[in-house]
A and B are shown apart, each in its own frame.
Chain A
Amino acid sequence: MMRILIVDDSSTMRRIIGNVVMQLGYAKEDFDEAEDGVKAWKLLSESNYDVILTDWNMPNMNGLDLVKKVRAEGAHQKTPIIMITTEGGKGEVITALKAGVNNYIVKPFNAEVLKEKLDGVLKK
């Protein structure tokens, strides 16, 4: 069973991403949610996930710091990470990719885009 971790400070965004994920055929039980990097890191320490979908701008620990931490330590150093964020600048995308993000989605997005990107990172 595929496990997905959704990290976003907006509860609405978490629900939207969750719905999109369900549209792709995943069940509600297949994903967990965290509202910031700190809580996400806690969940990552407790469970195993096959893919991480994270926002950038969040309180406590932002998405970029989370990516760096995941890539640097713990059991998910090889886990695919897709950043879903409003940060659409070229500089930000490069920064995120350098930090270890596998793919990047700029909000707003639709189910097709997420499916494409998910398929892309899971195939590798």
Chain B
Amino acid sequence: MSMSQEEIEALMNGLDISDDENESSESTDTTVDTSEIDELISQTQNEEELEPNPVLEEVNDSVEELSTNIEEEPKVEEMLSFDETETSDTVDNDDIDALLKDLEAEGSSQEGETEIFDDLENNSLSENSSDDFDDIMSQIDGITEETQSTNEPVQVKEKVVEEDINADKIVKDWTDTKINEGVIPLPAEKDTKVVSQLNQVANDSEEKVSQIFDVLSLSLDNNNAFRAKVSEMDELLVSQNKLLMSLHAKFPNIEIFKSNIEKIEEVNKSLESMKSIMNEEDMKIFEAMELMQFNDINRQKIERVMSVIRKLSLYLNNLFEDEYTDQEIAVAKHIHGDEGEVLIGEDLDKLIEEFGK
């Protein structure tokens, strides 16, 4: 569960790469420093006695001075063990994953990740750690203290919340499995009460069908409006046609009268075609409206099922009704013939004897 420093570094590096190029240079320095400390810590963990680290020999004089100071084994062990426990208490993979998920969900990944980065940097003792090992050690102390004093309550709270969520999830998964296996029934909630749900379905369906009906009615009304316009055009064309016919009769040599009469005939054909399309559409709409009767038919089927369930419920209530109002009867947990352990015969005698000794 606990996250090692290397993992934290890896996470930090990942954040640097993905989020902020400007911070990458800092993080490179940080990584080097942290690795030095990690190396020191790991060496101290592996060996009973703390020996001077070759890496630290390359650091300045103050580091050497300090390395001699930390020859006091118990102190170092104490410090390291404390640091370890602190690390495992405060940061683990789940915590970071949960935090990252939360931050992603909030859409404020930039700021959030920077905060995590800062936290992780604090925990990994990475800040201002290259010059003096005293500073490093003081930072280690500072970190652990800081973690205790400021971060711990928040992180503990988060952990508690997360544990609650995990527990809820486990319970939910278990319940779902048992429901699917038919071991336990669905809970009697608003969404699972059968009659209530059926009633809701019937009412919703009625409402939606009514809305569909509105749409179809609108189409019918529009078609009627088009038909009225077409009739107006029809009247105009008839009068124009009469006029042109008379003109053509009087002036048969003028070609334009004849050609216009032909055009009017074409327009008339187009209008007739439009009328026929609208009529066809009307017929289809009427068909659709007729089919919507099935909503009423299905609603009545649902009502019939609801009625059966209500009667069944009433019957079962009557069947299981208890005439006596006594308190709940104590029932035996293990009875002869049950599966499992029922203590009888010699086993029972043996047990009694053992207790008698």
Contacts and interface: CB of A to CB of B under 8 A. Distances in A.
Q: Do A and B come from one complex?
A: yes
Interface of A: 8, 10-13, 15-16, 19-20, 23, 57, 86, 107-111
A9 B293 CA distance: 13
B252 to A, nearest CB: 45
A119 to B, nearest CB: 19
B289 A16 contact: yes
Closest 4 CB pairs of A and B: A108-B293, A10-B296, A13-B296, A12-B209
B296 A86 contact: yes
B206 A11 contact: yes
A19 B289 contact: yes
A69 to B, nearest CB: 23
A10 to B, nearest CB: 5
Nearest to A106: B297
Contacts, number: 51
Given A12-B209, A19-B286, A108 B291 contact: yes
Contacts of B210: 11-12, 15
Task: State the majority secondary structure of interface residues on B.
Answer: helix
28 contacts: A10-B206, A10-B295, A10-B296, A10-B299, A11-B210, A12-B210, A12-B293, A12-B295, A15-B210, A15-B217, A16-B289, A16-B290, A16-B292, A16-B293, A19-B286, A19-B289, A20-B286, A20-B289, A20-B290, A23-B286, A57-B300, A86-B296, A86-B297, A108-B293, A108-B297, A109-B290, A109-B293, A111-B290
A90 to B, nearest CB: 18
B286 A12 contact: no
Nearest to B209: A12
B300 A110 contact: no
A34 to B, nearest CB: 16
Nearest to B299: A10
B292 A12 contact: yes
B294 interface: yes
A110 B291 CA distance: 9
Contact of B300 (A15, A23, A86, A111): A86
B307 to A, nearest CB: 11
Interface string B144-175: 00000000000000000000000000000000
Contacts of B209: 12
Nearest to A22: B220
A116 to B, nearest CB: 15
Interface in B277-307: 286, 289-297, 299-300
